[in-house]
Structure 1
Amino acid sequence: MELNTIIEIFKNPYVEAALIFLLFVVIAKTVAVVLRKYLKKITEKTKTKFDDVLLEKTEPFLTYVIVLIGVRFVLLHLGIMNLLISRIINSFIAILVVYFVIILIEMFINFWGTNWAKRTQSGVDAMLPLVHQLSKVVLIITCLMFILNIWDKDITGLVAGIGIAGIVLGFALKDSLSNIFGGISIILDKTYRIGDRIKIDPGESGIVYDISLRSTKIKTWDNDIIIIPNGMMANSKIQNYVQPSIKSRGVIEFCVAYGSDVDKVKRVIIEAIKKVENVLDEPAPSVYFSKMNDFSLDFDAKFWVDDVAKRYGTKENATSVIYKTLKKEGISIPFPTRTVYLKK
């Protein structure tokens, strides 16, 4: 075959188009080899698996995008690139980009969001599925609007339809949305966490067993599980026994008879409480003369423990010690009396 014939063949526009496409395929394969052979060695040396998975997901995405760009150049070279084909290619690129972003968000949530939530024990992991789904919906709607714009379609009707649908769904799911936003508020505000001991007005109390977007589960002291909607929890008065510190104070009310030596009562009770197991030296136990009642002198004995879980058992022991100390010291413990005068 003569050289001129070969040159004429390569001057053929279809052959040139095939060579252009082949060039882009080679570029795509080269990028894939670089990612797989060289960058993978770097990612394997890191402690996290995030970069390994990111590299694995990036390779096919870049390959498809480069090939689509090559198809675009081929069609331009052949002069058959019309508005329809251009719109189709641009739509595919938009779909690929959105799909890749969704994968990135999912990876971020799985690797960083979940690990961070478990490490901080913040309960944010309950929000992660909602964040994932909402981000997917937003990205898909954005992609749809972008594609409609590529095809010169009016998106005003779509935006209005989405707004109307949102209003209708908002009314239909009012209670569910109230619970979900209540759950988000509780988690972000860190009102309580799993394992916290809480008391809810008007009286339910126990340990937080689980927090989801819809409800909070509380294990009572009788080992029952109470499920309370987060909308109700967000609007309730909640007493958290472990925030800001797990250290807790116990108070014991007791009384002695009139005529007792107030200073002696305070001294002997303080010394007795100091010897009770789990009572902290700092802050030191204290006894306050609180009230002169109708038939007694009332006192408050206060002490601290390093964990609220120890408070009730320590309070029982301390109450027993106070009773025994008063009895040992000969200090009378009064009881209600009433004197009746009979007039003849």
Structure 2
Amino acid sequence: MPYWFAALQEAFVHYWVAWAVFAGQLLVTWVVAGLARRVMRWTAGKLVSRSNTTLDDRLVEAGTGPVRWTILALGLRFAMTTLGGAIPAFGPGGLLAVQFGVAGKLVEGLAALTIAALVNALAIAALDWYLTELAARSDAPWSRQLLPTLRKVVTAAIYFLAFSVVLQLFDISISALVATAGVASAAIALASQDTLSNMLGGLVLLIDRPFRVGDVIELTDGRGGTVVEVGLRTTRIRQPDGTALVVPNKDMANTRIINRGQPSSRVAIRQTVSVAYGTDPEPAKRVLLDVMNSHPEVLPDPAPGVWFTQFNSFSLELSMSCWINAGTDRARVTDELNVRILKALQENGIAVPYPTQAIHILQEEGSRGKAVERTAPDADRSGEAVPGDSADHQG
């Protein structure tokens, strides 16, 4: 019979009270674990159901099972610590100290793994909640593609740390393993630098949400349109001419974007209308206000406005402003307002000026050297000379 088995029998016979306490502690641990599971299912479930978010519901549901096993592992470790202090053979220098120490490390490793399982369940639940509820509001289809990958990455990282702790308990060096993992990660990162940058850029867009599918945006280079899709690597934008603009996510995350759909879809139409000198500004302002107020898509709040802003070289400048509900209708409404304004100005006898220029020609007449001044008719907007003037000038 092995010596350790005989020593274990002797420890059991002489210290049966300590074993009874050990069994009682295990029983209490089992009861506490069961109660904790019920508390999380019933009491905590009723409390979190009153909140406005489903995150707490997901966390309670995901942590119910792992919490029970974590309590059992920690209770077993506590009971073994009590047992080792009560039986000399299990203590330092005892006959069974080595065996009891190995058993204790195994229980500690089990506790580390159960804690890792609990942390992993909570992390996955939070990740699922974010990508399925918050990200779904942005209509990003790649969130469903990214979810399995993120879950695997998070799970691998958590259990890697847990197994590292277990190996350290048995005095196994993990430096070589960590170095190998670091080299492999660096090689993967270098080989897929652009891909990872675009994926991280897409994750930033998903978290920060500077725009959503359906928003009308404009980039710093002047191009833009309606966001059609935020993919895993690229963002697709439908331009006004119907073509697709595909932009890498890393560029979208690092550029300035004008979003015409946030924080509100309402946009302002602002432009300048010129009237000729000699025109009374007040009637002209009333004409512009009447046109804007009569348009069915111009909002009454903020109210349309017209201001006399500048004396130009050949005209009086009137600035007008109004708001509409949708930025996608801006070009159409602007066209309709311009047509109505032009007709209204013509009907009210208000002149719209254009640049003119008077040309004075001095011509010597006969041998007497008499200078005659002639004024040419006003040139048109392009500045072309009036026919006939060049012949007079040459004469």
Which category describes the TM-score, using the shorter chain as reference length? 0.7 to 0.9
Residue 268 of structure 1, CA deviation? 1.7
Counterpart residue number, 1:54: 63
Cα separation, partners in 2 of 1:52 and 1:87, compared to 1, 3 Å: closer
Q: Once structures 1 and 2 are overlaid, which stretch shifts more, 264-273 or 313-322?
A: 264-273
Tell me the distance in 1 between the aligned counterparts of 2:250 and 2:277: 52
Tell me the distance in 1 between the aligned counterparts of 2:10 and 2:169: 37
Residue 177 of structure 1, CA deviation? 2.2
Tell me the distance in 2 between the aligned counterparts of 1:145 and 1:44: 34
Counterpart residue number, 2:334: 315
Tell me the distance in 1 between the aligned counterparts of 2:74 and 2:153: 26
Aligned residue type for 1:277? P
Counterpart residue number, 2:172: 153
Q: Once structures 1 and 2 are overlaid, which stretch shifts more, 266-275 or 306-315?
A: 306-315
Tell me the distance in 2 between the aligned counterparts of 1:325 and 1:140: 75
RMSD of aligned alpha carbons = 4.2
* Residues 139 and 212, structure 2, Cα contact 8 Å, conserved in 1: yes
Normalised to the residue count of structure 1, the TM-score between the two structures is 0.75
Counterpart residue number, 1:5: none
* Residues 205 and 253, structure 2, Cα contact 8 Å, conserved in 1: yes
1:27 aligns with 2:24: no
- Within the candidate set 162, 166, 173, 2:181 is matched to 162
1:105 aligns with 2:123: yes
Residue 250 of structure 1, CA deviation? 0.9
1:342 aligns with 2:351: no
Aligned residue type for 1:63? L
* Residues 122 and 190, structure 1, Cα contact 8 Å, conserved in 2: no
1:234 aligns with 2:253: yes
Tell me the distance in 2 between the aligned counterparts of 1:315 and 1:141: 61
Bigger RCO (CA 8 Å, 6+ sep): 1
Aligned residue type for 1:302? S
* Residues 68 and 89, structure 1, Cα contact 8 Å, conserved in 2: yes
Residue 172 of structure 1, CA deviation? 1.0
For structure 2, list consecutive stretches of 5 or more residues without a partner in the other structure: 1-8, 355-379
Aligned residue type for 2:46? K
Counterpart residue number, 1:248: 267
Residue 137 of structure 1, CA deviation? 3.6
Tell me the distance in 2 between the aligned counterparts of 1:206 and 1:253: 25
SS at match of 2:226: strand
SS at match of 2:42: helix
Residue 322 of structure 1, CA deviation? 0.6
Counterpart residue number, 2:190: 171
Residue 32 of structure 1, CA deviation? 4.1
Cα separation, partners in 2 of 1:44 and 1:298, compared to 1, 3 Å: closer
Identity across the alignment (%): 22
1:305 aligns with 2:316: no
Counterpart residue number, 2:343: 324
* Residues 66 and 117, structure 2, Cα contact 8 Å, conserved in 1: no
SS at match of 2:71: helix
* Residues 208 and 219, structure 1, Cα contact 8 Å, conserved in 2: yes
Q: How many pairs align?
A: 334
Residue 42 of structure 1, CA deviation? 1.7
Residue 44 of structure 1, CA deviation? 4.5
Tell me the distance in 2 between the aligned counterparts of 1:227 and 1:91: 50
Residue by residue over 1:39-89, the C-alpha shift from the partner in whole angstroms, topping out at 9 and shown as x without a partner, is 543234331633344334422443355456667859949936255444433
Cα separation, partners in 2 of 1:276 and 1:262, compared to 1, 3 Å: same
Normalised to the residue count of structure 2, the TM-score between the two structures is 0.67
1:93 aligns with 2:111: yes
1:285 aligns with 2:305: yes
Aligned residue type for 1:154? S
- Within the candidate set 139, 149, 163, 1:144 is matched to 163
Cα separation, partners in 2 of 1:16 and 1:194, compared to 1, 3 Å: farther
Aligned residue type for 2:255? S
Residue by residue over 1:283-341, the C-alpha shift from the partner in whole angstroms, topping out at 9 and shown as x without a partner, is 432255667578x7765533222442443332232122112202211334567554412
Residue 99 of structure 1, CA deviation? 1.7
Cα separation, partners in 2 of 1:226 and 1:59, compared to 1, 3 Å: farther
Residue 225 of structure 1, CA deviation? 5.4
Cα separation, partners in 2 of 1:113 and 1:201, compared to 1, 3 Å: closer
